[in-house]
Amino acid sequence: MKKKLVILTGAGISAESGLATFRGMGGLWNGYKVTDVASPQGFRKNPELVLNFYNFRRKDAAKAQPNAAHHALLHLEEQYDTTIITQNVDDLHERAGSTKVLHLHGKLREARSTTASEQVFDINDRDINLGDLCPLGSQLRPNIVWFGEEVPLIPRAIDYCLTGDIFIVIGTSLAVYPAASLINYVPESSPKYVIDPNIPSIPSYIKNVYARSGKASQEVPILVAELLGRL
């Protein structure tokens, strides 16, 4: 039986494919208030602004290509039961070939009803405009978890972490909850690798942490080779 390997990825891994992060210099929030473009209140106040913001992000993501880190993670499936839990809403992991990806915060290429959250539709790279309605007659919105909304997939993510034999954190500041709490559910004995140019603060009670400071595209292929016994 293959060991279970769980990977948590954040904006840092996509940044190397040219996608702006939220908080860095030149990030997506520059020029916007978070509440204006990524909250239910913002959508009620100015839905056109919010839709256009995500239409732009969708076009940007469509142009991006998976980088060396995305491609390297695919090879872990050769020897491990690999699950990627991502905070990212792009599909770069899937385009690199990874087969088990859990999108905690939703997907850019999906729309959902504003009144029936279970009504989700694949829109590929198309825009969502005012007047685009679900079959129930409600306005469509991006299938994105906004600030102040529940993260419905967090229980499933916790279940993966509880049985993880190896845990890898890539490109996240571990500052956004509840995703940041997932490392707490990994068994104490399981090794936990953290890769980022700026290693986030890890509580001292989290054991067996191995930090690697550097870009994901450089450090992830090295770690993958080690885990596969190729170094």
Q: Where are the beta strands (DSSP E) in 11-162?
A: 80-86, 101-103, 106-113, 120-122, 140-144
Q: Which of helix, strand or coil describes residue 107? A: strand
Q: Which of helix, strand or coil describes residue 202? A: coil
Assign residue 96 a region: left if phi > 0, alpha if psi is -120 to 50, beta otherwise?
Answer: alpha
What gap in Å lies between CA 9 and CA 174, rounded to an integer? 10
Chain centroid, CA 73 distance in Å: 14
Q: Which of helix, strand or coil describes residue 188? A: coil
Q: Which of helix, strand or coil describes residue 26? A: coil
The yes-or-no answer on residue 71 being catalytic is no
Active-site residue, from 70, 71, 93, 105? 105
- Contact between 34 and 111 under an 8 Å Cβ cutoff? The reply is no
So which residues are the catalytic ones?
Answer: 105
